[in-house]
Structure 1
């Protein structure tokens, strides 16, 4: 009986490890190629704003991080750098800087979802029609599947309403 229990535990452990590895590696294996460096540089040069992504945010950790430069224009957002690979990443614009899950959860209802991130070493996304980047201050990368904060960068200060 002890041998059957031990075999069941080891087999379930192996299945759990295989599942976790699949969740981690599948996005890497199925990711499309990143945009060409020349196109990323062209978008960055035409951008109205840029900001640095860093691993040093409260909500970032060894599995959830981003680094590099985010460039924002009225028509697109581009990223030159790296993101930790994962499933179901989306880019959002928020009106306030956020740096962890809790802060983003508090502002997500007012945030605008720009689009899905499919490559982890650079991307370009079109700004949805009707979205004015001047109404927002921060780019957030969020994992929808697991509700995980990946990274964020504030590209402009919110205009003060006091005179």
Structure 2
């Protein structure tokens, strides 16, 4: 009987620890995200953009945990996003020569993409 109690306690504590760990992985990037860029800065970068794009939430590669929405402006020395991204621990920004809507399309084009850097904010970035 005592062994069953210990096994039950160990299992319940392990389950709570796993849920807490998973929750921490999700919440930590939100807590450590920098504040969104100023609206004036985003507007100025949008005006001087050479290329424009859109992040849409309804693409086949999007799901409840991986999505983005908003406008993207690419200039000679900066990239500005006005919109929102799903919180995540390790977003990276790439410039792609073609349209990407799934992970398979991303992997196919990745050798020809240019890696720009990490994305730390979820309410727009520069």
| Fold shared, TM-score > 0.5 on shorter chain | yes
Residue 146 of structure 1 is matched in structure 2 by: none
| The structure with more radius of gyration | 2
Shift of 1:71: 0.7
CA distance in 2, matches of 1:51, 1:95: 12
Mapping of residues 114-133 of structure 1, within 5 Å? 114-124=116-126
Task: Choose which of 70, 75, 78 in structure 2 pairs with 1:76.
Answer: 78
* TM-score of the pair, normalised by structure 2: 0.92
Instruction: Give unmatched runs, 5+ long, in structure 1.
Output: 125-163
Residue 90 of structure 2 is matched in structure 1 by: 88
Answer 1 or 2: which has greater helix percent: 2
Answer 1 or 2: which has greater strand percent: 1
Moved over 2 A (4+): none
RMSD of aligned C-alpha atoms? 1.1
Task: Choose which of 44, 49, 59 in structure 2 pairs with 1:57.
Answer: 59
Q: Which moved more, 1:89-98 or 1:101-110?
A: 101-110
**When the two structures are aligned, how many residues end up with a matched partner?**
124
Residue 14 of structure 1 is matched in structure 2 by: 16
Instruction: Give unmatched runs, 5+ long, in structure 2.
Output: none
